[in-house]
Structure 1
């Protein structure tokens, strides 16, 4: 398997390089196609609730996790064509999960939750996964779109598979704050990837949840045909692919081999380089997790202010092709909506006592492990100007004028221990080209630390005689550093994994904290061993009928859809 993966990655890299450097059609028939299944915790939500979802990116033929895309895109689209949310999901072995808190700005109506990869967009027959979602906003009087005299439809999947045989619970019904033990021992589930939702069933009709079995039945005969053989969308092989092109502001400006940097400044900054092809196109692979953070891209060199940037979008383009369901509410549902809204408000008020936790991963620092000399400026007498600071504190750095402009240089190592050559200046993770402006105008008292890398350094194809790393006290440099050639945009390149809150009353904790959870359990990555599997959760202070839904795929690609209902009195 490892050899196959290595060969596949090599093949895809070769294809991507070819696609970037030529306009000729590329034969991609031998590369596996993809399809996506997405398990959601519910298809009917109120404002103030969480929409949870787990993405399964599969090999289109084997139904096993895809080895191609490392990123999936999820969008919630209203029936009017408005994109309510758009998230970038990191895929690990073809699996990724996230959530979205339904805010009060979201109106009542019918929505479509879709998911796709960039690679899937090449297929004109099947490019997205679709799930109908019905949302109610009880905090607004604008309900005309969903008010109906009567409604017809399934009620929160009461009819979904009835109850799967072979699984059992420790009781036939349960009291409040009682442990529920689910035994899958007789079902015969095998090792694979699975997600679980346990949620209260209401009396408001809602769209059916797409099950794994229904999904594979629909796409048993998987067709594949390219929408355009000359504009193939490249797969996200190592994370999200940020691509676009530079556009010259005047004629005669070269497009090819222009050096670019992409940086996300901050305490743990992200910095990468790329070069344009002969048509000015560029590609950055971002394998770190960023959610709506400030990013900056710039061209390096004397022509840096002579280009504009145009980015390629990875969002679903054909919203008009979507067909929306038509679910609604009647006056008879008023009390259920009120009760559920009250429960949500109480739960949100006590969220700090029941938090989800993020599995944090820090970006790889480009200069990590490189030998340097560090100067924490609070250890010395403070000076206002950059020039004074270098003269008095930084022996391995030097500032001097060249034809009226200030330059910074770095003292190298033996045998050529001199200040010749230009170093790279990086402030809070942002490469700075306007060295003279930085020396003249930046207040040195805002700087926390200056580090000097004295060895030669290559940033992409750009060579530097050393590196000067500046860290400000509040990491606020980009708030004041603005030039027209510095293109800023919001970057979203994958959400951070979460450990979702799971109530445990066996610990005898928080007896006085209200518990009005209607979502008793959400686990997007539960592990089954295939032999006498069990899992547990606790009921809340909410009574009524609840439903357990397990979706996923065995390692051999076989779909698994399990459901079980129970009552809390």
Structure 2
């Protein structure tokens, strides 16, 4: 317990010292790559992230991928665990977004504020939703399929029947990544610098994510009580509990550490006080588009029907990948080690928690005070009974109404864990713990407290351990090859592509060869060549 207290103290020391970021934090350089730039809604958007820092190891452990629409609204946000500043993973595009161009951008919690240009990188992509189509015009103004783009003299690509022979030996620099995928005929320019598209970035208190994702909360300064304890419980396949108190500016930081996936969070205050002035703050930089930046229009023509149908086919084909399911095995409460566990199926089932505790749990007693039920845990360290309710939990969600819990039917509770000593969570000491776990980690039908706030808030995406086969052709002849991504060097470790032979699928699409490289001055450059299906 003492280690956990020191951990939180260290986090606040970083928060306080980060008021002058240039003095205490090193700028982080963000690079990312995606294998193609046109998608169908609901499709996986694969992304490779590379965060670096000059002359020292990257501190940030979490990278973010966000999708913005033309109204500067976030429509998707992925949170990814970094290993030495790198990761390859995917973000699921929402099924309900309309057909349009979107901005994908990548950052860490602190990188945009330390270097606006190098710490916030973005590209335009196109998303086609068959249920919400774009504007149709007989003669839209778009790039002709099969034309060539920049840097063609450095890429030698020749189509020989069903194979593409690719020679990259002419690239004058270190090749970072290469891809061959479906060409996007609706965009002529993909990459934009931050100064090209945003107004100036508002300042923000910088708290680096040294251990895991930080859930940031905010309390209206007019309602701040710096002694009030706030609880955040995160819930998915597993659940975990975190606490904090607001600083004088109303900010709270709940560091979730190594906890990975979850689907939603529940926020509460000690004693189930009102949360009317509480909100959760997105880790995304709060930017606004510059008046000079014009989001391109997405217009198609009737002639595009065949192309879009082929694109739709390709979105439904992808080979396998392997996720690290073991990374989700976390304790119910961080730092909580029970003294006694009761598997409730081993006992006669009673209709109330009160009766279960009275009949089977000698470490806890039930008392009636002012016509309400309270619980008292035996403190075995000091050989006495605590004089107030313990920390009561249902699937890591704090419960402050002991009377309601005592009268609840525990038929959907699987087990009860008891801690018979003081429990320290951050600087707060609780008189023991009574923790119930349901069968399905859904609170066993116990209601969310009246002043609690339920928020859909995704945790970290599951890490991938094997993605080498996701864009390879299927070896079975009877399975049609409809791949829209033929090659992406990012998924092949220790490969520097120079001369490649790539098999074309049985789908009729225009193709684009894209190479990212670093020139002799260290500048990151991108060159492309488009190849029509007839080449």
Q: TM-score, normalised by structure 1?
A: 0.75
Match of 2:187 among 193, 203, 206: 206
The offset of 1:306, in angstroms, is: 7.2
1:339 is matched with 310
Alignment of 1:216-227 (within 5 A): none
* Aligned equivalents of 1:244, 1:367: Cα separation in 2: 19
Deviations 1:321-369 (A, max 9, x none): 243234543343333223333x23xx62x66xx4443333216323568
* Aligned equivalents of 2:242, 2:478: Cα separation in 1: 51
1:437 is matched with 404
* Aligned equivalents of 2:128, 2:135: Cα separation in 1: 8
Contact 2:471–2:487, Cα closer than 8 Å, also in 1: no
Secondary structure in structure 2 of the residue aligned to 1:273: strand
* Aligned equivalents of 1:112, 1:129: Cα separation in 2: 10
Deviations 1:369-396 (A, max 9, x none): 8252211111122111112211222222
1:6 is matched with none
The offset of 1:228, in angstroms, is: 5.8
The offset of 1:297, in angstroms, is: 1.7
* Aligned equivalents of 1:280, 1:78: Cα separation in 2: 30
2:6 is matched with none
Secondary structure in structure 2 of the residue aligned to 1:340: helix
Q: Does 2:305 align with 1:313?
A: no
* Aligned equivalents of 1:382, 1:66: Cα separation in 2: 55
1:474 is matched with 440
Contact 2:514–2:526, Cα closer than 8 Å, also in 1: yes
Deviations 1:95-145 (A, max 9, x none): 34443455553333333223333324436953632312233444456524x
Secondary structure in structure 1 of the residue aligned to 2:254: strand
Contact 1:56–1:65, Cα closer than 8 Å, also in 2: no
* Aligned equivalents of 2:434, 2:10: Cα separation in 1: 38
Deviations 1:280-319 (A, max 9, x none): 4311123356667221122214x83476313333334333
Match of 1:93 among 84, 97, 121: 84
2:257 is matched with 287
1:428 is matched with 395
Deviations 1:78-102 (A, max 9, x none): 3344433233343332234443455
Contact 2:211–2:255, Cα closer than 8 Å, also in 1: yes
Q: Does 2:110 align with 1:119?
A: yes
Contact 1:44–1:206, Cα closer than 8 Å, also in 2: no
2:376 is matched with 409
1:540 is matched with 505
Contact 2:219–2:250, Cα closer than 8 Å, also in 1: yes
- Tell me, which stretches of 5 or more residues in structure 1 are unaligned? 1-9, 20-24
Secondary structure in structure 2 of the residue aligned to 1:75: strand
Contact 1:288–1:493, Cα closer than 8 Å, also in 2: no
- Change beyond 3 A, Cα 1:141–1:460: closer
Contact 2:36–2:182, Cα closer than 8 Å, also in 1: no
- Change beyond 3 A, Cα 1:548–1:500: farther
2:248 is matched with 278
Secondary structure in structure 2 of the residue aligned to 1:390: helix
2:15 is matched with 16
2:101 is matched with 110
Q: Does 2:151 align with 1:161?
A: yes
Secondary structure in structure 2 of the residue aligned to 1:332: helix
* Aligned equivalents of 1:278, 1:140: Cα separation in 2: 46
2:209 is matched with 236
The offset of 1:254, in angstroms, is: 6.7
The offset of 1:434, in angstroms, is: 1.4
* Aligned equivalents of 1:410, 1:537: Cα separation in 2: 68
- Change beyond 3 A, Cα 1:524–1:105: same
Deviations 1:164-184 (A, max 9, x none): 46x99xx963648xxx99898
Match of 2:48 among 23, 30, 54: 54
The offset of 1:255, in angstroms, is: 0.9
Alignment of 1:512-527 (within 5 A): 512-522=478-488, 524-527=490-493
Contact 2:179–2:488, Cα closer than 8 Å, also in 1: yes
Contact 2:229–2:244, Cα closer than 8 Å, also in 1: yes
1:373 is matched with 340
Contact 1:520–1:538, Cα closer than 8 Å, also in 2: yes
* Aligned equivalents of 1:413, 1:315: Cα separation in 2: 47
RMSD across aligned C-alpha pairs, in angstroms? 4.4
* Aligned equivalents of 1:372, 1:200: Cα separation in 2: 59
Deviations 1:474-514 (A, max 9, x none): 322285423333222122343223344726989x9644333
Deviations 1:6-42 (A, max 9, x none): xxxx9996451246xxxxx646345322343331222
Alignment of 1:13-52 (within 5 A): 14-18=13-17, 26=20, 28-29=22-23, 31-47=25-41, 49-52=43-46
- Change beyond 3 A, Cα 1:306–1:201: closer
Further displaced range: 95-104 or 468-477: 95-104
- Change beyond 3 A, Cα 1:198–1:228: closer
Deviations 1:446-466 (A, max 9, x none): 211112222332112221232
- Tell me, which stretches of 5 or more residues in structure 2 are unaligned? 1-8
* Aligned equivalents of 1:163, 1:478: Cα separation in 2: 65
1:392 is matched with 359
Q: Does 2:228 align with 1:262?
A: no
- Change beyond 3 A, Cα 1:137–1:296: closer
